[in-house]
Structure 1
């Protein structure tokens, strides 16, 4: 059993490494093919026209213009493997320093949204599945269908208008109050500024988990052992506690960790709406500004979160259901 578990973990770990390498190649190729001129985007056409050829040549060297793509990728990959992510061309700081600040802001936001969407989605899905066809089931289904087809940025703007502009009970943007020194920012200030973006991400992440949990719970409620439990007079709570919770937990765990990609993707748009200085906003700035070292590092870290979430989900699901490790043998 231990040997099969080790092989299962090793296989998934190697898969994650190969996927990260493929993502780095794809991201670099897309940046190379980008029509954005880094000099015009960051210096400006008018400023370039007033510069000498020597100054333009120095700028081209700084932004990597004219260097062979393969040579640039090999140099970046060699440094990245050694732990050197390079210098951000836009921030003129080490990429690790920039990402440490931006990632800290994003993690604070996404962890709150991830926990809320998982718990609420699981509870709503279980409640709907155990009350199939009843009004509460129809309400939850309607909510999920509407939210799943609604863009995250539209929900973000709606919440911003209602709670930030009309009611004026929450800040309309940023991660800290304007004009306050870093030493004067309290934890409560950070929480207040994270409420609207976190709630936006939670709302959009609930529907997928709730609908899948509902379908799984319906299958469980139609099973023979649950029908037998109902015949014995067990209440809905007893059925959920004794039969439903454990059987629906595996798929819910997988979906919860797989939803990391959705939350991160949604955070890019949400951070733009709320001007929240996180990793998503930094990725947009790096892409528009052709900051290759920063964008490549953000891409790898983002992919690591996504693939890492799926990797953990596979491991946990294999622990919950050992048949997964055996590739479904014995089913």
Structure 2
């Protein structure tokens, strides 16, 4: 039944994916500006040359025709070529994807390692000083924008204390080592995790408080089991189920945060490529990144539902 459920979800994901591409493509074409704006800044270019360029890029055709031409290439595994660099979009994304995946993966791991214990700690004694302090700090973290946190971190750790590099992925000397990567990733990872930790702590606290009111928890306590033993052996697994949903649904906000974080720290990932493409109205690159993000979000949602069943056998896939 699990495989039938996954196949059903994949079939539902196909029209959802196509709907995302339609909305993204048409909204993109409604935005002011054109891929030819950079050419217009050249006083030597003639109207005839500009028109030839427009025809070569297919921008003279209606938007609907442009979309189906792009979709036909996508179905054949081709994301097209960048308007600005004339390079394959897939190659450009492939070069930047490892940097973003490394940063995002480290951010998710750090957020889980910090948020789950803090959420459990706050829920272990509700309405206490530790609970109020944890809740206040979590709200502050959720409300603070990534770019502001990034600028504060750069000022403190790179300028005042001078213990961490202010940006980039490796040292300016160009030596690519694991130590240099870790030093450069500390601040971007902390900034990208900042809001996530605040939100996940609150979700973990609420979920744990709800689970601790269940009858089987009272039964475990009545048997004389210690408090923390009851929490970790009986409560934690069920309390993680709602948190998994939050983690899965955090993928879009994680990507959005990566765009800002990568710009602040000069991190050479997909987020900074997206900003460059938007500024240059590079439609194929923008759509290529949109396709990647949409696929990642849809797959994450499916994996989240499957993880539900693994954690709780009572959940049916029917």
TM-score class, shorter-chain normalisation, is: over 0.9
Alpha-carbon distance between aligned partners in 1 of 2:28 and 2:22, rounded to the nearest angstrom: 10
* Equivalent of residue 119 in structure 2, options 117, 125, 142: 125
Q: Is 1:100 paired with 2:94?
A: yes
Residue 279 of structure 1 deviates from its aligned partner by 0.6
* Equivalent of residue 63 in structure 2, options 48, 51, 69: 69
What's the CA shift string for 1:139-190, capped at 9, x where partnerless?
211111111111111111111111111111111111122242xxx3112212
RMSD, aligned CA: 1.7
Q: Secondary structure at the match of 1:87?
A: coil
> How do residues 174-323 of structure 1 correspond to structure 2 at under 5 angstroms?
174-180=168-174, 184-323=175-314
Alpha-carbon distance between aligned partners in 1 of 2:261 and 2:245, rounded to the nearest angstrom: 24
Alpha-carbon distance between aligned partners in 1 of 2:220 and 2:310, rounded to the nearest angstrom: 27
**Residue in structure 2 matched with residue 171 of structure 1 by the alignment:** 165
Residue 119 of structure 1 deviates from its aligned partner by 2.3
Q: Secondary structure at the match of 2:61?
A: coil
Residue 43 of structure 1 deviates from its aligned partner by 2.9
Alpha-carbon distance between aligned partners in 2 of 1:188 and 1:100, rounded to the nearest angstrom: 23
Residue 16 of structure 1 deviates from its aligned partner by 2.0
Alpha-carbon distance between aligned partners in 2 of 1:302 and 1:162, rounded to the nearest angstrom: 33
Say whether the 8 Å CA contact 2:142–2:194 is kept in structure 1: no
TM-score of the superposed pair, with normalisation by structure 1? 0.90
Q: Secondary structure at the match of 1:174?
A: coil
Alpha-carbon distance between aligned partners in 2 of 1:207 and 1:12, rounded to the nearest angstrom: 31
Say whether the 8 Å CA contact 1:147–1:204 is kept in structure 2: yes
Residue 326 of structure 1 deviates from its aligned partner by 4.7
Alpha-carbon distance between aligned partners in 1 of 2:2 and 2:278, rounded to the nearest angstrom: 40
Residue 83 of structure 1 deviates from its aligned partner by 0.7
Alpha-carbon distance between aligned partners in 2 of 1:38 and 1:80, rounded to the nearest angstrom: 20
Length, aligned pairs only:
318
Residue 62 of structure 1 deviates from its aligned partner by 4.4
TM-score of the superposed pair, with normalisation by structure 2? 0.94
Alpha-carbon distance between aligned partners in 2 of 1:242 and 1:37, rounded to the nearest angstrom: 59
Alpha-carbon distance between aligned partners in 2 of 1:107 and 1:290, rounded to the nearest angstrom: 25
* Equivalent of residue 316 in structure 2, options 306, 325, 328: 325
Unpaired runs of 5+ residues, structure 1, are none
